[in-house]
Amino acid sequence: MTLHDPNPPRLRVGIVGASGYTGAELLRLLVHHPSFDLMVATGDSQAGKAIADLYPSLAMAYGDRTYDTYDPDTLDGLDVVFCGLPHGVSMNVVPEIKGRVGHIVDMGSDFRLHDAGLYPQWYGAAHTCPELLAEAVYGLPELFRDKISGAELVAATGCNVATSVFALAPLLAAGLIEPQGLVADIKTGVSGAGRPPKENTTFCTVDEDTTAYGLLTHRHTPEIEQALADRTGANPSVLFTPHLVPMNRGILATCYGRPTADAAGATSADAIAAMREFYRGEPFMVVSDRSPSTKATLGSNAVHLTARVDPRTGLVFGIATLDNLVKGASGMAIQCANLATGLDERSGLMGPGVYP
């Protein structure tokens, strides 16, 4: 299957939870998808409301179409269902629809961890269907493409983890950094906190402010460690600290590690070369000498990366940026759905970034 197939297959898709920011981004991206036809778009808190009234930017594409009420019967027979639900909700919805639809791509964190015992520790509640964790495939295509192809249940990776893993995995895989004591420093836009209003995301709170949060206990920490371990065979430990910055969307990760003994004398050119080799042939990965910027990825499914070795401090670090609502959420989910259904994974996702 190529992007230029004159007769692409038609697949029927639905979105459960289409009224949040990631749901709105899915609605935007699906307009340009050559194979996916949207049949159902639920948003229980907005059921019956016109999509264009909540998101006027989508008016040209969706006209008077309204949000549907969630009913698993309306999803029967769909080829793909995307779940854009808050943590703790997907684990109740997925068992209801699994087996009734072809493929499920969950954009939340309910099925990302292999070990059910980690959920009480990091999320504060037990998993309600731990038996499905073994069936869920971790949805990070650049690292686990073969496992995603044909998968019935995909747990698509989120923005924090994807950006951190993209920066660190090539350096670990090349033996340039030790797996222990890794540091992932994240700057993230406010849309990553979701659409519902929160005290810490109001304009007056966020404007002209930067705040570190989730100190030492951020729930995405074990997921970063798990993805790195699964891809590289290492046993990593990561100190993950995100920072909320006053921008709508975008995420930048600067990730540090200590060099291995074998990497003594390595240079920045070596680190960048390792990153280029790791992502060779990847359509959405842009590796260069440039320092990546969040705006360069705005609206696209691209990831911009670079790396450096500092001979003065001895530290090695990688930098990655992406749009948290596209490659960090909805674009990642579509890429996973493309793979799961046998389509070219680039389908509907090759639009460049928006600038300025």
What range does the domain containing 267 cover? 160-324
212 shares its domain with 226: yes
Question: Is 90 among the domain residues?
Answer: yes
Place of tokens 């639905």: 14
Same domain, yes or no: 150 and 182: no
Q: How deeply is 126 buried, as exposed, middle or buried, from its count of CB atoms within 10 A (0-12, 13-18, 19+)?
A: exposed
Residues 165-188 as b/e (b if ≥16 CB within 10 A, e otherwise) read bbbbbbbbbbbbbbbeebbbbbbb
204 with 250, same domain: the answer is yes
Contact (CB, 8 A) for 321 and 293: yes
CA–CA distance, 166 with 279 (Å, rounded to integer): 9
What the block records as the tokens of 191 is 């849309």
**199 and 307 share a domain?**
yes
Q: Which residue has the tokens 């793979």?
A: 339
Q: Residue 304's domain is classified under what CATH number? A: 3.30.360.10
Same domain, 119 and 241: no
Beta strands in the chain, from DSSP E residues, in sequence order:
11-16, 36-42, 80-83, 103-106, 137-139, 153-156, 182-188, 211-212, 238-244, 251-257, 285-287, 303-309, 316-322
Are both 315 and 177 inside the same structural domain? Answer: yes
Q: Are residues 83 and 166 in the same domain?
A: no
Q: Is 294 part of a structural domain of the chain?
A: yes
1 is a domain residue: no
Model pLDDT, residue 4? 59
Per the DSSP assignment, residues forming a β-bridge with 321 are 252, 304
350 within domain boundaries: no
Tell whether 312 is covered by a domain. Answer: yes
Q: Does some domain include residue 354?
A: no
Half-sphere exposure of 240 (CA within 13 A, CB side): 23
Q: Specify whether 205 is located in the same domain as 146.
A: no
Burial of 280 (0-12, 13-18, 19+ CB in 10 A): exposed
Backbone CA torsion sign across 56, 60, 66, 72: negative
pTM summary value: 0.95
Indicate whether 143 and 215 sit together in one domain. no
Cα separation values, 34 from 8, 103, 153, 157, 315, Å:
7, 18, 22, 23, 45
Q: What CATH number is given to the structural domain containing 70?
A: 3.40.50.720
Q: Which residue has the tokens 């600067």?
A: 254
Half-sphere exposure of 66 (CA within 13 A, CB side): 9
Regarding whether 310 and 284 lie in a shared domain, the answer is yes
CA dihedral angle for residue 70, residue 74, residue 80, residue 82, rounded to 10 degrees: 0
User: CA angle 339-340-344, nearest 5°?
Assistant: 25
* pLDDT recorded at residue 1: 45
φ/ψ of residue 253, rounded to 5 = -115, 125
State whether residue 143 is helix, strand or coil: helix
Are 315 and 201 in a shared domain? Answer: yes
- In Å, what is the CA distance from 263 to each residue of 177, 184, 271, 312? 8, 20, 10, 15
Q: How far apart are CA 130 and CA 260, in angstroms?
A: 37
Residue type, 346: R
Of 83, 129, 159, 255, the active-site residue reads: 159
**DSSP H helical ranges for 14-78:** 21-30, 51-54, 59-62
Taking residue 314's Cβ as centre, other Cβ atoms within 10 Å add up to: 10
What does the pLDDT profile of the chain (356 residues) look like in tens digits?
Answer: 446 576 778 999 999 999 999 999 999 999 999 999 999 999 988 999 999 999 999 999 999 999 999 999 999 999 999 999 999 999 999 999 999 999 999 999 999 999 999 999 999 999 999 999 999 999 999 999 999 999 999 999 999 999 999 999 999 999 999 999 999 999 999 888 777 778 788 888 888 899 999 999 999 999 999 999 999 999 999 999 999 999 999 999 999 999 999 999 999 999 999 999 999 999 999 999 999 999 999 999 999 999 999 999 999 999 999 999 999 999 999 999 999 999 999 999 999 999 98
Q: Is residue 122 part of a domain?
A: yes
159 is catalytic: yes
If you search the block for the tokens 């030790």, which residue do you land on? 178
Q: Is 5 within a domain?
A: no
Terminal Cα-to-Cα distance of the chain (whole angstroms): 34
Report the domain count for the chain: 2
Q: In degrees rounded to 5, what are phi and psi of residue 305?
A: -140, 155
Q: Are 150 and 165 members of one domain?
A: no
Q: In the 8-state DSSP scheme, what is residue 145?
A: H
